[in-house]
C-alpha cells in the first residue's frame, strides 16, 4: 500500500507531461475510399489543434473549406486519372498525415459517329 502512494504522483506527473507534449495530428477521412475516373470524393480533416492545414493530391494543392468540426473539400477526378491507390498528403502545423483513395479501372461506353 505504501508503494501505491509513491507511484501514484509519479504516474500522474508522467501523464501530465505526455499530454502537454503530445502533438495533435489531423484526422483525415476519405469518402468513398474507392472511386472511378470522373467521380468526386469527399476529404474531411478534423483536429483538436488550430494549426494551419494544407493538403495535396496528385501533386496539386487542395482547396479546403471550413465545415462543422473541421475542414472539407470535394475533389473531382479527371477522367484520365490512372487506376491505383493515390495518396493525399495533409500538413497540419509541423505534423503530416496521409490518407489514400483507390481509383478503380473503368471502361466508358463510346459511340462512333
Residues 36-68: pLDDT tens digits? Answer: 999 999 999 998 777 899 999 999 999 999 998
pTM of the model: 0.73
SS3 content of the chain, % helix, strand, coil (to 5): 20, 45, 40
Residues 65-105: pLDDT tens digits? Answer: 999 889 999 999 999 999 999 999 999 988 999 999 999 99
Determine phi and psi for 45, rounding to 5 degrees: -120, 125
Amino acid at each position: 500500500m505504501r508503494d501505491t502512494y509513491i507511484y501514484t504522483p509519479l504516474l500522474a506527473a508522467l501523464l501530465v507531461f505526455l499530454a502537454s507534449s503530445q502533438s495533435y495530428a489531423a484526422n483525415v477521412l476519405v469518402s468513398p475510399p474507392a472511386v472511378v475516373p470522373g467521380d468526386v470524393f469527399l476529404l474531411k480533416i478534423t483536429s483538436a489543434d488550430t494549426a494551419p492545414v494544407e493538403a495535396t493530391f496528385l501533386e496539386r494543392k487542395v482547396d479546403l473549406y471550413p465545415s462543422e468540426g473541421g475542414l472539407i473539400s470535394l475533389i473531382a477526378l479527371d477522367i484520365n486519372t490512372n487506376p491505383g491507390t493515390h495518396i493525399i498528403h495533409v500538413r497540419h502545423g509541423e505534423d503530416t498525415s496521409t490518407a489514400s483513395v483507390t481509383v478503380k479501372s473503368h471502361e466508358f461506353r463510346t459511340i462512333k459517329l
